[in-house]
Structures are given as structure tokens and as C-alpha cells.
Amino acid sequence: MAANLPLSILLLGGGTVVVYAAVTDQQGGPLGVIGRALRGQKQGSAHTAFTAAEIALDPTTQAAAGAGAADPATQAAAGSPVAAAALQYARQLEGVPYRWGGTTPAGFDCSGLVQYVYAKAGVQLPRTTVPQALSGKAVAGIAQAKLGDLIFFGTPPHHVGLYNGAGMMVNALKTGTFVREDNIADIGQVTAIRRVA
């Protein structure tokens, strides 16, 4: 199984790298997200050389992944298997252009992206940010956010993205940009966080 895991790499400050992957069952259904923090690595092309062998699936990690949790490096931010699947779908769409009113891989606006990836994961959400901000249950703050939680900005909410851990989110920000990962602090003041799966 480990040889076929699709890996994502998150570069943090101080030479820390988090390598993580969505774990699926034999039918391709989401089980969870596993990851490992690697410290002291050189920045640059060496990070892209990591393989699935960097993530050791020992029995305790496998059990945690089956429960929708992650290893100690990312456990605090682990979301449900459905949220992990939605976030993985969003990551796969990075590079798709922003399009106002867009709801397909031809182009997305922020709420269109959220609605699309959660629908692929099996959760139906409203089309626009205001009703999306009333979906699911409230999360008290960013310290309690889990991977795949919805992060909203503005009152009433006018922007939304999916929490990607370490203060980052995947979103479709504005005209002229693409679906991408952004630092939450660079977007503005968070006004709501919702857990929809």
C-alpha cells in the first residue's frame, strides 16, 4: 500500500518539512491522513525527492489512519476521513484558475471550490459563503481547527477556504489567481470556522 501513496509536502520555517498523504481503503475510500515532520533538511529540490518510504506505516500508525487520525506530527490537526478526502481533492485542483461564480475544474470561486470538493467527498453544501458558514458545527478558534475545516472571512462571510494545517488554507482567492495554498494571516481576520464532516 505505501508504495502508491500520493504525497504532499508542506515546507515550514527552520528547515522543517511535513510530508503527508491521504490513506485509502482497497476500494479507494478515504481512511485518513498520515504524516511525518522531518527536520534539518535542506530547502529546495531535495524535498521533492521524498518517496512513500519516508512515511512508515507501523501498526500504530495504520490503526490511527484507520480511525481518521494522524501520527503525532500532525495528530492535533487531523480531520475526519471525509474532510481529509475533501482537502485532498482541493489540493489536486491547485492551479485551476479563479472564476467568479465558477463551480467546476474549468474555474472556481471560493465557495464553488468548497462545494465541489465536499460533494466529491459525499457532503452536499450550499452554493455560497453565507449559508456555508451556517453549515455543520462551529469551531472555537484556529487552534482547534482540523484539516478540512472551513475557514471564513468577513461579516457577512465573503471568502472561504479549507484548513490545511500550520496556519494555511487551500482556496480560490480572487480574479487573476488560481486554486492554491495561502497563509490565513495574509487573507485577513477569520470570522468563522465550521466543521462540516
Instruction: Report pLDDT for 123.
Output: 98
Looking at the fold, whether 104 and 65 belong to one and the same domain comes out as no
Residue 32's DSSP bridge partners are: 23
Instruction: Report pLDDT for 89.
Output: 98
Catalytic annotation, pick one of 47, 159, 164, 183 = 159
Q: Which three cell numbers stand for residue 53?
A: 518510504
Of residues 182, 148, 162, the one with CA closest to residue 30 = 148
| Digit-coded pLDDT (tens) for 9-58 | 444 344 434 444 554 555 554 444 444 444 333 333 333 333 333 333 32
| Digit-coded pLDDT (tens) for 175-197 | 999 999 999 999 999 999 999 99
Q: Which three cell numbers stand for residue 92?
A: 489536486
Q: Which three cell numbers stand for residue 137?
A: 458545527
How many structural domains comprise the chain?
2
| Digit-coded pLDDT (tens) for 107-161 | 999 999 999 999 999 999 999 999 999 999 999 999 999 999 999 999 999 999 9
> Is 171 noted as a catalytic residue in this protein?
yes
Q: Which of 57, 76, 95 is the last residue of a domain?
A: 76
**Which position has the grid cell 464553488?**
112
Beta-carbon neighbour count of residue 181 at 10 Å? 17
| Digit-coded pLDDT (tens) for 67-100 | 333 333 344 478 899 999 999 999 999 999 999 9
Q: Which of 37, 56, 76 is the last residue of a domain?
A: 76
**Are the C-beta atoms of residues 139 and 156 closer than 8 Å to each other?**
no
Looking at the fold, whether 167 and 92 belong to one and the same domain comes out as yes
Looking at the fold, whether 138 and 94 belong to one and the same domain comes out as yes
Catalytic annotation, pick one of 47, 158, 171, 183 = 171
Looking at the fold, whether 186 and 94 belong to one and the same domain comes out as yes
Predicted confidence (pLDDT) at residue 2 exceeds the cutoff of 80: no
Catalytic annotation, pick one of 4, 47, 110, 164 = 110
Looking at the fold, whether 100 and 160 belong to one and the same domain comes out as yes
What's the Cα-to-Cα distance from 3 to each of 52, 54, 91, rounded to whole Å?
6, 10, 20
Rounded Cα distance between 54 and 64, Å, is 17
**Which position has the grid cell 506530527?**
73
Residue 31: which domain range?
Answer: 2-76
Looking at the fold, whether 15 and 96 belong to one and the same domain comes out as no
Looking at the fold, whether 20 and 109 belong to one and the same domain comes out as no
Q: DSSP for 10-66, please give it.
A: EE-STT-EEEEEEEE-TTS-EEEEEEEEE-SPPSSGGGGG--GGGS---HHHHHHHH
Predicted confidence (pLDDT) at residue 59 exceeds the cutoff of 60: no
Instruction: Report pLDDT for 120.
Output: 98
Looking at the fold, whether 8 and 61 belong to one and the same domain comes out as yes
Looking at the fold, whether 110 and 26 belong to one and the same domain comes out as no
Instruction: Report pLDDT for 79.
Output: 87
Q: Which of 76, 98, 120 is the last residue of a domain?
A: 76
Residues 6+ apart with CB under 8 A from 161: 110, 113, 114, 150, 151, 169, 170, 171, 172, 182, 184, 187
Residue 149: CATH number of its domain: 3.90.1720.10
Looking at the fold, whether 48 and 111 belong to one and the same domain comes out as no
What's the Cα-to-Cα distance from 75 to each of 15, 69, 81, 153, rounded to whole Å?
20, 6, 13, 26
Looking at the fold, whether 109 and 181 belong to one and the same domain comes out as yes
Instruction: Report pLDDT for 47.
Output: 33
Looking at the fold, whether 87 and 175 belong to one and the same domain comes out as yes
